């Protein structure tokens, strides 16, 4: 067999160009590895922090059925986080390092989770809008060039579909209930619509994105679509669904562009987005305080698991000797 004469960068680029998967053992540019660690860590952190807004409502669910569904969803999010930390660890980092960076404010989590959940209807708005946006954003990642990340997304996207459906059902029940319940559902959608559009990231077209990662991430096929393309896809999907729900979306400029078939929407307040990223959102401090406390409270579990693993390893080694 002839020795592959290509350089490592060429071998990497050939795999990407051929839509083949890059696996942990493959040589890859440091910048590719670094971008993946950043994005997968942010994704995992988002799943874990995302448990807080909904976890607040488990004890206040209006029925046993709703409580069971919400508990299952929050547990799913924990699993998504652990799944994604495992994907990140295939890149040579340890989840403890990533969590330290999160707790030190040196890694991000999704802006959306810095908003408060004020009523039960917020459980519906989060499921329908936030998980709906997550699905639009995550399905293309099942075709991401990095194998472990793409494969993790397959299972996560299946579970997100359940999350989105249960949220839609909560809103549909409320919207078709008493006038007070309809008003509660409308209020939740009014508060969660614009932050959900921000989830897709800053505009690719604007000057802000000159500092962004989209162009390079698309060249590496980590991202398959731009932020703006996925945002547009989400708006086009949500408008008809809002009609079925009997709820309005809080955008007076929203209208169907007959020429393109897309829904045109109003200006997003990017100053709000970047202010939340700087830590000035309604719940940033509370989310991080709760996260750090949960991490510290769980130290004994990690120590016990480590001690047990070391004891088992020693016993196995002694048995093998």
User: What's the rounded Cα separation, in Å, for the pair 257 and 239?
Assistant: 13
* CA distance readout (Å), 30 to 9, 36, 98, 156: 11, 10, 17, 27
Our CB check for ligand 3HC shows the closer of 66 and 80 to be 80
Our CB check for ligand 3HC shows the closer of 122 and 160 to be 160
Shortest CB 46 distance to ligand 3HC, Å:
4
Asked if residues 250 and 193 have their Cβ atoms less than 8 Å apart, the reply is: yes
Asked if residues 81 and 185 have their Cβ atoms less than 8 Å apart, the reply is: no
Our CB check for ligand 3HC shows the closer of 38 and 295 to be 38
Our CB check for ligand 3HC shows the closer of 183 and 277 to be 277
User: Taking CA 69 as the corner, what is the angle to CA 285 and CA 236, rounded to the nearest 5 degrees?
Assistant: 75
User: What's the rounded Cα separation, in Å, for the pair 174 and 213?
Assistant: 40
Name the residues that contact ligand 3HC, by CB under 6 A.
39, 42-43, 46-47, 50, 77, 108, 110-111, 130-131, 134, 137-138, 160, 163, 198-202, 212-214, 217, 227, 277
What are the φ and ψ backbone dihedral angles of 255, each rounded to 5 degrees?
-155, 155
Our CB check for ligand 3HC shows the closer of 89 and 248 to be 89
Shortest CB 226 distance to ligand 3HC, Å:
9
Shortest CB 250 distance to ligand 3HC, Å:
19
Our CB check for ligand 3HC shows the closer of 108 and 292 to be 108
Shortest CB 278 distance to ligand 3HC, Å:
11
Shortest CB 36 distance to ligand 3HC, Å:
10
Shortest CB 119 distance to ligand 3HC, Å:
18
Shortest CB 269 distance to ligand 3HC, Å:
14
Our CB check for ligand 3HC shows the closer of 120 and 140 to be 140
Our CB check for ligand 3HC shows the closer of 61 and 268 to be 268
Shortest CB 47 distance to ligand 3HC, Å:
5
């Amino acid at each position: 067999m002839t020795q592959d004469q290509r350089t490592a960068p060429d071998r990497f680029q050939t795999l990407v160009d051929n839509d083949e998967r890059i696996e942990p053992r493959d040589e890859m540019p440091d910048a590719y590895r670094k971008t993946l660690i950043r994005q997968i860590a942010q994704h995992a952190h988002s799943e874990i922090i995302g448990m807080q807004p909904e976890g607040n409502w488990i004890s206040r669910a209006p029925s046993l059925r709703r409580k069971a569904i919400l508990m299952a969803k929050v547990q799913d999010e924990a699993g998504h986080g652990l799944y994604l930390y495992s994907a990140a660890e295939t890149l040579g980092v340890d989840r403890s390092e990533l969590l330290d960076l999160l707790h030190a404010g040196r890694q991000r989590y999704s802006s959306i989770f810095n908003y408060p959940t004020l009523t039960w209807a917020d459980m519906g708005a989060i499921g329908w809008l936030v998980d709906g946006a997550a699905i639009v954003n995550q399905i293309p990642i099942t075709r991401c060039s990095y194998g472990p990340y793409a494969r993790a997304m397959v299972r996560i996207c299946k579970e997100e579909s359940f999350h989105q459906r249960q949220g839609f059902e909560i809103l549909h029940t409320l919207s078709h209930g008493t006038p007070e319940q309809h008003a509660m559902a409308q209020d939740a959608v009014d508060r969660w619509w614009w932050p959900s559009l921000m989830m897709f990231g800053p505009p690719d077209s604007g000057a802000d994105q000159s500092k962004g990662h989209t162009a390079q991430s698309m060249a590496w096929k980590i991202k398959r679509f731009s932020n703006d393309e996925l945002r547009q896809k989400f708006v086009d999907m949500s408008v008809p669904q809002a009609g079925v729900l009997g709820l309005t979306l809080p955008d007076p400029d929203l209208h169907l562009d007959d020429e393109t078939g897309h829904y045109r929407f109003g200006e997003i307040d990017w100053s709000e987005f970047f202010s939340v990223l700087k830590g000035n959102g309604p719940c940033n401090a509370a989310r991080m305080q709760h996260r750090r406390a949960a991490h510290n409270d769980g130290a004994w579990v990690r120590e016990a698991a480590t001690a047990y693993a070391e004891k088992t390893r020693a016993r196995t080694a002694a048995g093998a000797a």
